[in-house]
Amino acid sequence: MDRTDYQLVDGSGDYGAEASSLDGFAIARAATSEADALLILPTIASFAPQRKPALPKVQLDAGRIIDIVLAATLLVLLSPVLALIALAIRMTSKGKAMFVHQRVGAGGRPFGCLKFRSMRHNADQLLTEILRDRPDLRREWLETRKLPVDPRITPLGRILRKTSLDELPQLINVLRGDMALVGPRPIVSEELSHYGRYAASYFGARPGLTGLWQVTGRSGTSYRRRVATDHFYYRHRNLMMDMKILFATVPAVLLQRGAC
């Protein structure tokens, strides 16, 4: 990968930290206490050579073929596991085993993202009550789209989320072409405000079952860092990087680094 320099800044000014020769996993050389407040922004002059974000068609086609083959293979191999999870969900809580949630896809097109249900059947009602009665949690939700202790999640759902098993149905989304195996994490429309002028970086690739921000921090990553990582992935993505991310996903899930 060619050398590209980025400065780490936030709205209040320049921290003077610099990330050099980023290899797809070392996102920034900065103190972790400070890094969560930072956003990676390119500081290369407009006339300087930059890597074009658009992949050659042959790489796009090859990536799509790999997605289809791997997703279909995994669905077949994991079908007994999928059936057992669905049965366990139905036996331990009310409601369907899977649910469809509207997310924003490539080009800004909405799609139905499939997941195993990890929440109670009245989760929307519970969330409304929590955000109404707890201003502190409402602020947390608006900033991160997460609650530190979420009463909507079932006991089985906590296990599914911690192991990322709740996301296995998204292999069907990969086959449909809504998603890729590797890409930005699928977001809801309300989250686009966090991306600002970097929304184009999210729109430029299919959302992924896994991605760079998942293997470098997962839910422990701040939202600003997540946007910066999505932008970096869009600018530098290639088949080799995607393969590295896929291989890095296995230990990230097994070790439950920053899992929900």
Query: What is the per-residue pLDDT across 83-117, written as a single tens digit (0 to 9) for each?
Result: 999 999 999 998 899 999 999 999 999 999 999 99
Range of 179's domain?
69-118+153-254
Specify if 50 maps to a domain: no
Which residues, other chains included, contact 97 with Cβ-Cβ below 8 Å and sequence gap of 6+? Answer: 85, 86, 87, 89, 90, 116, 117
Helix then strand then coil, % of the chain, to nearest 5: 50, 15, 35
Confidence check: pLDDT of 38 > 70: no
Specify if 138 maps to a domain: no
- Residue (of 95, 100, 103) closest to 115 by Cα position: 100
Specify if 224 maps to a domain: yes
pLDDT band, residue 35 (cuts 50/70/90): very low
Confidence check: pLDDT of 36 > 50: no
- Classify residue 2 by burial, with Cβ atoms within 10 Å: 0-12, 13-18, 19+: exposed
Specify if 131 maps to a domain: no
Confidence check: pLDDT of 202 > 70: yes
- 1 versus 188: the higher-pLDDT residue is 188
Among 1-5, 14-18, 64-68, 189-193, the range of highest mean pLDDT:
64-68
- Helix (H), strand (E) counts: the chain: 11, 7
pLDDT at 197: 86
pLDDT at 137: 82
Specify if 78 maps to a domain: yes
Specify if 77 maps to a domain: yes
pLDDT at 17: 31
pLDDT band, residue 219 (cuts 50/70/90): low
pLDDT at 79: 96
- Structurally, the chain folds into a number of domains equal to 1
Q: Are 154 and 178 in contact (CB under 8 A)?
A: no
Specify if 19 maps to a domain: no
pLDDT band, residue 221 (cuts 50/70/90): low
- Residue (of 92, 85, 63, 89) closest to 183 by Cα position: 63
pLDDT band, residue 54 (cuts 50/70/90): low
pLDDT in tens, 130-166: 888 888 888 877 777 777 778 888 999 999 988 889 9
How far is the C-alpha of 155 from the C-alpha of 138, rounded, in Å? 23
pLDDT at 218: 56
pLDDT at 75: 96
pTM to 2 decimal places: 0.74
pLDDT at 151: 82
Minimum mean pLDDT among 25-34, 124-133, 142-151, 239-248: which range?
25-34
Specify if 144 maps to a domain: no
- Residue for token digits 């920034």? 28
Confidence check: pLDDT of 257 > 90: no
- Classify residue 58 by burial, with Cβ atoms within 10 Å: 0-12, 13-18, 19+: exposed
